[in-house]
Amino acid sequence: MKQNGTLWNTRLNGNYTAENYPPGIGIGQELPAIKEVSGNGVLTIEEMGDQHISTSYDTPLREDAFDLTEEEKMERIEFHFEKIMQTLGLDLSDDSLSGTPKRVAKMYVQEIFNGLDPKNMPKVALFSNKYKYNEMLVEKNITFYSNCEHHFVPITGKAHVAYISNGSIIGLSKINRIVQYFSKRPQVQERLTVQIANYLKEILGTEDVAVLIDAVHMCVSSRGVEDQTSATVTSFYGGAFQAEAKKSEFLRYVYGS
């Protein structure tokens, strides 16, 4: 999977990638039965299993995603989450559980998924590169928390970001905020990597951007295969970073020599 750089995932396997996944499948729609498309099978949800498949580099949002206010969204989520808890057999009259639907609704809308709303996008100011610094700038070990869009359980890890200025620079903390913004939504790690890179390329006006993410997925460690030791690494190398020398320099800064 490539988009102006390199992208790889230690858990992506089989022949099903974003390039041959069935187009036009929306939220709540049933995937078609297995059939042959250009020599590759198309997966049903059952066949997909735990394969981390992403259908787009854009977060899949409905056209009416922002028609409701935050308060209206929280009311709906609270109502439906209460039904989930009741279906599981939980007694919501218990003091410990009675406020959980409201807490979850607030957490979803205002905290862990607030990166879905464009109004929360970080405001980034550009500054002139007065120091004439023309080497790579690396911001590494950026802690982030996201959630797997397949099971809605946490993804935690570190992001490492670099760029080479073409005349403009941004404040260091803004890189962290950009990572956090794209993390705070249901995600797949491949998409997260590319979204961070593409946003930096756009605001900095340069192709010379690199992003590496090293993360642990709770959908792998806490369920399914229950592997507590594996990690997933994704990377994006654009512009000058596609040269092996620059790529190696970046990786030395991240991992050490």
Structure tokens at 248: 């190696």
* Distance (Å) of CA 138 to CA 89, 147, 160, 188, 204: 50, 25, 7, 23, 14
Instruction: Tell me which residues are annotated as active site.
Output: 148-151, 189, 217, 219
